[in-house]
Amino acid sequence: MAKSQGELYERFLALHLQPGGFIMPNAWDGLSALLLKDAGFQALGTSSAALAFTLGRLDGRHAVSLDEHLAHAALLNTVSDLPINGDFEDGYGSTPDDVAATVEAAIAAGLAGLGIEDTSGNPDKPLRDFDDAVARVAAAAKVAKGRIVLTGRTDNFLQGNPDLADTIKRLTAFAEAGADVLYAPYPGNMSDVAMIVKAVAPKPVNVLVGTMEGAVPVADLQKAGVQRVSMGGALYLRVMADLKIAAKQLADGDTANASEGLAFREAAMLIKSIA
């Protein structure tokens, strides 16, 4: 029996509070969601980057619409019946009221969580001003409270601004505005991670795997107090790397190696399990 949005929200929230936290991989289509569920993961995220790439578009440029992302997230929800966290870029709107409406739409679509970034979609000025960013998270939090897990995210590091003090300033402001989880992709090192965790405690922190030099083991992140570990577009790009190899093999006439992969029967059985 499919779970209600409220049930999925409660499950997702509880994962953030359990000792040691949890890993939240990011799926990009129905089969990837089912494979991740089959591996035992208890919640999934969308990836705005992976979704954009599947559509032949760039991430972070308002190239994917709210309706497209909602439909994508709802698909992952339907096939997996797991809590789904939407990677919703800047909240899909020019004003805080627009962001609040996005949160309502995410709840209506059955999502258990969503993230709101301080990005702008403008490559010439990719980060929003501090006050604007905080106002957008505050508007989202007002709607989200007790209904959907809200992640407040700053992309300082991702956008080439390795200012830890400003990153912490933004994250603590998002926490004070009502965000349930805090997130800053691409921290420079584990010392940065530890400082972020300490600054926003007791609220949980999400860390993206592979964003520091070398992929830090999950155990090390958990030891530092990280409660949620996500993958962003990493799994999708891992699959695309395998496709690149297979494409070269096929171009060289090596059909045997190029066609190695998941058995059709296994994929079909996973799909059949939800039909």
How many angstroms separate the CA atoms of 184 and 170, rounded? 10
Q: Write the CA distances from 266 to 39, 168, 241, integer angstroms.
A: 13, 45, 22
Tell me how far apart the alpha carbons of residues 174 and 183 are, in angstroms, rounded to a whole number.
10
Q: Report helix, strand or coil for 51.
A: helix
Q: Tens place of pLDDT for every residue, the chain, 275 residues? A: 789 999 999 999 999 999 999 999 999 999 999 999 999 999 999 999 999 999 999 999 999 999 999 999 999 999 999 999 999 999 999 999 999 999 999 999 999 999 999 999 999 999 999 999 999 999 999 999 999 999 999 999 999 999 999 999 999 999 999 999 999 998 989 999 999 999 999 999 999 987 556 678 899 999 999 999 999 999 999 999 999 999 999 999 999 999 999 999 999 999 999 87
Which residues lie closer than 8 Å to 205 by C-beta, 6 or more apart? 181, 182, 183, 193, 196, 197, 225, 226, 227, 228
Instruction: Name all domains of the chain by residue range, CATH numbers in brackets.
Output: 5-233 (3.20.20.60)
Assess contact for 269 and 34: CB atoms under 8 A: no
Beta carbons of 126 and 87 less than 8 angstroms apart: no
pTM for this entry: 0.96
Backbone angles phi, psi at 117, to 5 degrees: -95, 165
